[in-house]
Amino acid sequence: MPDQKMTFVGRLIVGAKWTGRVIRRIAIAFLVFGRALWDTEYARAFNRGLKLPRQTTVPAATLDHALPDAALLLLGLLQKEGRLIDFLQQNVGDFSDQQVGAATRVVHQGCRKVLDEYMTIVPVRAEAEGARVLLEPGFDPTAVRLTGQVVGEPPFRGTLVHRGWRMAELRLPQVASGHDLTILAAAEVEL
């Protein structure tokens, strides 16, 4: 069964002319973008991470243009199920906390449904937050970000502040070729 699922997903991706790698990166990029927008601490930490001194030179990167399709698809899903765009396009300041709260339930329930249905997101580290963790030499700095007294040589010992999130599986719908993904939500006209 698992390999069957893989061939199905494989067909799905090839059919839509994306590679799994790109889709995954786009989705992660989207989530990082979203979180950076909402979470000041996260954004700051991210900024710090970019300013880490580099010890060796690295060749100039070949920067890929992210294909917009997966981002549009995901935004469309978050709007359809969780009314995310409706929510963000409104001015929260005009409403009482109670009204915002009621709407937030719709957004939370729906966006949560999208996460549950279309992706499997697991913590990067299995330990509980606050636990002491050991980082062996050669750990993946993309998956684990060091903060605080970053000195010396690995293995590093530290406290897990955030468990991180990893996209374990992304199951986005197949899209019919020619389908206009820029329509995130169709206008509705009742006859």
Partner 1 sequence: MSAGRYSIGIDLGTTHCALAYIDSQESHEDHLVEAVLPVPQLTAPGSVMPKPLLPSFLYLPHPDEFRPTDLTLPWTSDPSRIGGELARAQGATTPIRLVSSAKSWLCHPDLDRRAAILPDGAPDEVPKVSPFQASVHYLAHLREAWNLNHPQDPLEVQEVTVTVPASFDPAARELTAEAARAVGIANLVLLEEPQAALYSWVNDSHGNWRGQVRVGDIILVVDVGGGTTDLSLIAVTENQGALELTRIAVGDHILLGGDNMDLTLAHLVRTKLQADGVELDRWQFQALTHGCRQAKEALLGDPDLGAVPVVVPSRGARLIGGTVRTELTRDDVAKTLVEGFFPDVPATSRPTTRARSALTQVGLPYAQDPAVTRHLAAFLARQAGATLDLAGFAAPVVGASFLHPTAILFNGGVLKPNLLQDRVLRIINAWLEAEGAPPARLLSARDLDLAVARGAAFYAHARHHGGVRIRGGTSHAYYVGVEAAAPAIPGLEPEIHALCLVPFGLEEGSAPVSPHQEFGLVVGEPVRFRFFGSNVRRDDQVGDLFQDWPVDELLEMEEIQTELPAEGRNAGDVVPVRLQAAVSEVGTLELTAIPSAGGEERWKVAFNTRGNAG
Give contact residues for partner 1 (rule: CB under 8 A): 1, 4-5, 8, 15, 73, 76, 80, 83, 86-87, 89-90, 92, 94-95, 99-103, 105-107, 109, 171, 173-181, 186, 188, 190
- Residue 12: Cβ-neighbour burial (10 angstroms; 0-12, 13-18, 19+): middle
Smallest distance, partner 1 to C-beta of residue 136, A: 38
CA 18-19-22 angle, 5° bins: 95
- Which CB atom, from 140 or from 190, has the smaller least distance to partner 1? 190
Nearer to partner 1, 39 or 86 (CB): 86
- Least distance in Å: CB of 111 to partner 1? 13
User: Nearer Cβ to partner 1, position 47 or 90?
Assistant: 90
User: Dihedral of CA 26/27/28/33: which sign?
Assistant: positive
**Is the dihedral angle over the CA atoms 95, 97, 100, 103 positive or is it negative?**
negative
Question: CB of residue 154 vs partner 1: minimum separation in angstroms?
Answer: 42
- The minimum distance between CB 15 and partner 1, in angstroms, equals 8
Q: Going by C-beta distance under 8 Å and a sequence separation of 6 or more, which residues neighbour residue 32?
A: 46
What's the closest the beta carbon of residue 140 comes to partner 1, in angstroms? 31
Q: Quick one: 148 or 178, whose CB is closer to partner 1?
A: 178
Buried b (16+ CB within 10 A) or exposed e, 15-34: ebebeeebbbbbbeebbeee
